[in-house]
Amino acid sequence: MNNFLQKLYKIEEYAAASLLSAATLLIFVSAVTRTFDLPLNWALDLTLFLFAWSVFLGADVAMRRNNLVNVDLLVARLPVPVQRACAVVSYILILVFLGALTGYGFWLSYASRARAFQGIPWFSYTWVALSVPVGSILMIITTIRQFRAYLKEARPPAAEDGEVL
């Protein structure tokens, strides 16, 4: 299972970076062609798709590497047992939120199945909306793994590449 997750993580990292790069390039090309009165009417729609997927895949990559913003000014001044309780509550709240995001994301995907993009009429908005539950499921897996590691080690796991942030 661990080998499978490592391969999945590599694919996810490359996909997030590639999708964001493609969205950036597409917006640039669209701006250049618009300058010459040759607008790409479908470019904004496709960029929305690429950006949505890069955001949710990238959020999981950032979460897995412990690169998300963490403000612990107050919590760091509390006694260690209280810090630990705050961390446990935090992990549980994150899991509840991601569970709700997954459920509502699937509902949104289903509800938007008939909605098409204006510039790409054959492309359903469902493909954009699916980025929410898929990314949330990946973040749930990451959160559960980090929570288990926290409970075993009594401290947050270090970043994947060994760099403590």
Beta bridge partners of 116: 124
User: Tokens 């559960």 label which residue?
Assistant: 144
Q: Is residue 165 pLDDT above 80, yes or no?
A: no
Q: Over the stretch 36-77, which tens digit does the pLDDT of each residue have?
A: 999 888 888 899 999 999 999 999 999 999 888 888 888 888
User: How large is the average pLDDT for residues 76-98?
Assistant: 93
Residues 6 or more apart whose Cβ sits within 8 Å of residue 89: none
pTM as predicted:
0.84
Minimal CA–CA distance to 125: which of 58, 45, 43?
A: 45
Sign of the C-alpha dihedral computed for residues 98, 100, 103 and 108 taken in this order: negative
Cβ contact 26:43 at 8 Å = yes
Q: Is residue 164 pLDDT above 50, yes or no?
A: no
70: tokens are 């963490």
User: Tokens 């898929």 label which residue?
Assistant: 134
Q: What is the pLDDT of residue 113?
A: 83
| Backbone phi, psi, residue 115, to 5° | -80, 130
User: How large is the average pLDDT for residues 130-143?
Assistant: 96
